[in-house]
Amino acid sequence: MPDQREEPVRDPSAVELFAGGGGLAMAVHRAGFRPLLFNEYARRACETLASNGAQRVPVEGSPWIPEPGEACPLIEGDVRDVEFGYLGGRVDVLAGGPPCQPFSLGGVAKGDEDERNMFPQMFRAIREMRPKAVICENVRGLLRPSFKPYFDYILREMELPFEERAGDTTWQEHDAVLRERILERSEDLSRRYQVVMTPVNAADYGVPQIRQRIIIVAFRADLEVNLERFRRLIEPKFSEAALIHSMVDGDYWDRHNVSNSTRERVLERLPSVLPLADGKRPWRTLRDAIAGIEGIEGCEKPLPPIPPEWLDRQEHYLGGFTDHVGWPNARIYAGHTPNVLDRPAKTVKAGVHGVPGGESVMLLDDGTHRYMSVRETARVMTFPDDWKLQGPRGEKMRQLGNAVPVVLGEVFAKAVADTLRDAEYGS
């Protein structure tokens, strides 16, 4: 009989575009995918990625395919200048959050007319790599009525990325073509993707932060994955109702050393009629994040308080933590209210001072308030304490505000890994 040799088993792999400060990249890596390439435009974010193990590709050099254990290559620069053909057939997951300014409520609201719209580059990367799955995170602004028709077009492009839009074609004309092609029977299912779009609140996934986003996941159609099982895997397991019940029952307070007056003040603000128990786990709060959360990798230890005399912009290495720096002159006024400790934090935004809504200010138990430290903000984004952020405070906060919370990304990345594994080996 001829010698029958098994094909070598290849590690599941991933590529991260628009990598930013590394939140989604870290989540995908934790889910078991070995990174083959990072790409990012912002200089400070690239410094962060490099300080955490990525290796810059020389300006005139070419990226390499790293061996297991080797540093992941980082291409610093415009994604439009990056060629991905060398990765064709080697990528299991393509992940990234294309710049969201065109669709953000805080942006200029130009939608598809904005040159910062990088979704076309995601589709180009799909064509050149042919990944088994795609994970894409973006803002809820995509669902606004004024953008919804264009967003539906984006989803159809994700479904048929090989139906490339001609340069002189409007998106409406291209959308009409896609609508027709979707109805046609395709013999080559490797050129089609099955798309699942999920609106999420990060707090529902164990992140100590209210953060409304959308996550788009696409699986190559020829893999015939079980989409219903994937949807079950990404069902949220945390709730506000469970947090309220844990406060009333006392379980929440058993974890925290607070005064009776603080406890009573919080309980007085709860609804007079309790929501129905739903069997989920309690939302995690800002107090939880600062005290340390068991089960969130790298965020288990308590952060020490910052004394008022150390609101001096100086690194005192409180408790050995870096970036736990006190910042002075925080203010509270109408429309600029602070985070409270016993709720998930407000959405972390890409700014430090002047951010509308007081998202970077926190109210303490004694009635005083101060700015959150970068380390506290990183905890709210579920970045581990040993993740090195580069740049001045404003740049570090910008990277965090633009990132995907690691725990949120991990839920979806692990669900993708399980779904692909089931499709390959059978569930």
Average of per-residue pLDDT across 52-58:
97
Of the pLDDT bands very low, low, confident and very high (cuts 50, 70, 90), residue 116 is confident
Residues 6+ apart with CB under 8 A from 326: 306, 307, 310, 311, 312, 313, 314, 316, 370, 371, 373
Per-residue pLDDT reduced to its tens digit, 380-414: 999 999 999 999 999 999 999 999 999 999 999 99
Backbone angles phi and psi of 9, in degrees to 5: -80, 125
Per-residue pLDDT reduced to its tens digit, 361-386: 999 999 999 999 999 999 999 999 99
pLDDT at 355: 54
Residue 207: both structure tokens together: 């992140």
Rounded mean pLDDT of the chain? 92
Out of 46, 72, 100, 299, the active site residue is 100
The whole-angstrom separation of Cα 14 and Cα 37 is: 7
Average of per-residue pLDDT across 129-138:
97
Of the pLDDT bands very low, low, confident and very high (cuts 50, 70, 90), residue 113 is low
How far is Cα of residue 169 from the mean position of the Cα atoms in its chain?
Answer: 32
Report domain 13-236+405-425's class: alpha beta
> Distances from the Cα of 19 to the Cαs of 26, 47, 97, 223, in angstroms?
10, 12, 8, 27
pLDDT at 187: 81
- The span from the first CA to the last CA of the chain, in angstroms, equals 32
- Indicate if 136 belongs to the active site: no
Average of per-residue pLDDT across 236-241:
98
Of the pLDDT bands very low, low, confident and very high (cuts 50, 70, 90), residue 357 is low
pLDDT at 185: 84
pLDDT at 115: 75
The single-letter DSSP state of residue 269 is: T
Of the pLDDT bands very low, low, confident and very high (cuts 50, 70, 90), residue 110 is low
Listing DSSP states for 62-112 in one string gives: ----PPTTSPPEEEES-GGG---GGGTTT-SEEEE----GGG-TTS---GG
pLDDT at 1: 36
How far is Cα of residue 106 from the mean position of the Cα atoms in its chain?
Answer: 18
Backbone angles phi and psi of 249, in degrees to 5: -75, -20
Which has the closest alpha carbon to 344: 276, 243, 263? 243
pLDDT at 356: 55
Q: Which helix (H) or strand (E) holds 228?
A: helix 227-233
Least confident of 43-57, 159-173, 351-365: 351-365
The whole-angstrom separation of Cα 383 and Cα 59 is: 30
Average of per-residue pLDDT across 190-217:
98
Q: What is the pTM of this model?
A: 0.94
- Compute the radius of gyration of the chain from its Cα atoms: 23
Which has the closest alpha carbon to 297: 206, 202, 413? 206
Which has the closest alpha carbon to 323: 254, 399, 247, 427? 399
pLDDT at 117: 85
pLDDT at 259: 95
The whole-angstrom separation of Cα 362 and Cα 385 is: 20
- Asked whether the predicted pLDDT for residue 99 surpasses 90, the reply is no
- Asked whether the predicted pLDDT for residue 102 surpasses 70, the reply is no
pLDDT at 5: 38
pLDDT at 167: 85
Task: Tell me which residue has tokens 């203010």.
Answer: 331
The whole-angstrom separation of Cα 370 and Cα 374 is: 12
Backbone angles phi and psi of 215, in degrees to 5: -125, 125
Residue 211: both structure tokens together: 């953060």
The whole-angstrom separation of Cα 189 and Cα 2 is: 33
Average of per-residue pLDDT across 120-147:
94
Residue 27: both structure tokens together: 């989540």
Task: Tell me which residue has tokens 């970045």.
Answer: 383
- Asked whether the predicted pLDDT for residue 139 surpasses 70, the reply is yes
Residues forming CATH 3.40.50.150 domain(s) in the chain: 13-236+405-425
Report domain 238-402's class: alpha beta
